[in-house]
Structure 1
Amino acid sequence: MVTTDISQLSTECTEWRQILRNYRDEFRSCESALLEMCKKSLSRDHLTQVEHFQNQFDIQLKNIHDLKQTIKTHEKKVQLETSGEEVYAAHENLLNEFLGLENTLQELREEFRNFINNTSCP
């Protein structure tokens, strides 16, 4: 592996972890918004949806944490230049995992925004 490749892979890992930190912060804010909603009088349907989102945020926050740790471990391997082709293959697999999780997080974000916008409570 050449230095440029190592630098590029390391930079990508850093970017992925930052994006995941941003989602983590956003979903923690969403959890706070859910808690505020619970202080208001909600219909049974809205309460069911609040529970759904709380569960999803818990699950996705765990997924974010786990992937961030996996990326961090991978980044250390990249910096040590261990197993050239294996590192590239692992990096590509991590990219696919990252993109899959990011897609799930974007869907959850959109679903939550629609819920907030369509709920009579601010």
Structure 2
Amino acid sequence: MLQKQNIKLNTMSYTAVPHLVAEHQDWLKAVDFYDNELDILENRLAEVAQKNTGIDTMKGVEHFQNQFIIQRNSIDELRHNINEHAHKAMLDLKEHVGRVESQQVAEHKKIKDEFESFEKVINELRDEFNLFLVKWM
């Protein structure tokens, strides 16, 4: 009489996501763009600080210096998260012939949400800074 063997099957689910790698590249290019844009905004802020030394102006300058530091930290963290996820996804794509584990898709969505949130914040900051420039330049 033959005994039945319990064989545990791999129950992970995989998904084909051809746009995954392209989206990582798009995010990294955008992050680089925003990083360069912060350089420009910081230079403009230095111009304002040099030309206007009043208390109100200096409060605004300090506010934007702090915001630019915060956004640089966000850029560094976002860039790290994108690169880390891209590396994991690439390994998964190679291992599973163009497919990634569903967990990677969920992580991708999380990073996409993080990127979109960052983009919203940086655009609002740019708009706020432009209003500040109009007032003090």
| TM value normalised by structure 1 | 0.90
* Aligned residue runs from structure 1 range 97-112, under 5 A: 97-112=114-129
Structure number with larger C-alpha Rg: 2
Distance 2:117 2:51 in 1: 35
Structure 2: gaps of 5 or more residues: 1-14, 94-99
Give the superposed CA RMSD. Answer: 1.3
1:42 deviates by: 2.9
| TM value normalised by structure 2 | 0.80
1:32 deviates by: 1.1
Q: Does 1:26 align with 2:37?
A: yes
Alignment equivalent of 1:87, drawn from 83, 104, 107: 104
1:118 deviates by: 1.7
Q: Does 1:43 align with 2:60?
A: no
Higher helix proportion, which one?
1
1:65 deviates by: 1.1
Structure 1: gaps of 5 or more residues: none
Which SS does the other structure have where 2:53 is aligned?
coil
Encode CA deviations 1:34-75: one digit per residue, 9 max, x unaligned: 112221133211110000000000110110111011100100
Number of residue equivalences: 117
